[in-house]
């Protein structure tokens, strides 16, 4: 399923809404999660899962061509942990 199919399915289930509003609803949900993560916040959606930001600590890397050590700075990366209900329903 891709985003346009999700929008189409939601529009079909809600025939009283304009297609344009359904699009805004779906985009708002993912934009809100993105903004929360960009602030360093967590997003906990019980049953579905939790989005959070993890810190990859700074480390000493190596230039693969020259073998020279280089400092790789700490990096923030998004992380998703599947919720209990979804995990259980995947394996019923």
Partner 1 sequence: MSEHTLTRADLTEAVYEEVGLSRNESAQLVESVLQMMMDRLIAGENVKISSFGSFLVRQKGERIGRNPKTGVEVPISPRRVVVFRPSQILKSRISESLDSSS
Residue numbers at the binding site for partner 1 (CB under 8 A): 1-3, 6, 9-10, 13-14, 17, 21, 24-26, 28-34, 36-49, 51, 53, 73-80, 82, 86-87, 89-91
Class of residue 25 by CB neighbours under 10 A (exposed 0-12, middle 13-18, buried 19+): middle
Per DSSP, the three-state class of 57 is: coil
Pair of tokens at residue 17? 């809404």
Q: Is the CB of 46 or the CB of 65 nearer to partner 1?
A: 46
What is the rounded radius of gyration, in angstroms, for the C-alpha atoms of the chain? 20
The CB-of-23 to partner 1 minimum distance in angstroms stands at: 10
Q: Which is nearer to partner 1, 44 or 69 (CB)?
A: 44
> What is the smallest separation between the CB atom of 66 and partner 1, expressed in angstroms?
23
Nearest to partner 1 of 65, 92 (CB atom): 92
> CB of 39 within 8 A of CB of 52?
no
CA atoms within 13 A of residue 33's CA, in its CB half-sphere: 15
How near is the Cβ of 63 to partner 1 at its closest, in Å? 19
């Amino acid at each position: 399923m891709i985003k346009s199919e999700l929008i189409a399915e939601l529009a079909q289930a809600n025939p009283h809404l304009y297609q344009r509003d359904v699009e805004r609803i779906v985009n708002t949900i993912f934009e809100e999660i993105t903004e929360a993560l960009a602030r360093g916040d967590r997003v906990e959606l019980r049953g579905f899962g939790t989005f959070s930001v993890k810190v990859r600590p700074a480390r000493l890397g190596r230039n693969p061509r020259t073998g020279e050590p280089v400092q790789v700075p700490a990096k923030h990366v998004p992380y998703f942990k599947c919720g209990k209900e979804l995990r259980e329903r995947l394996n019923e």
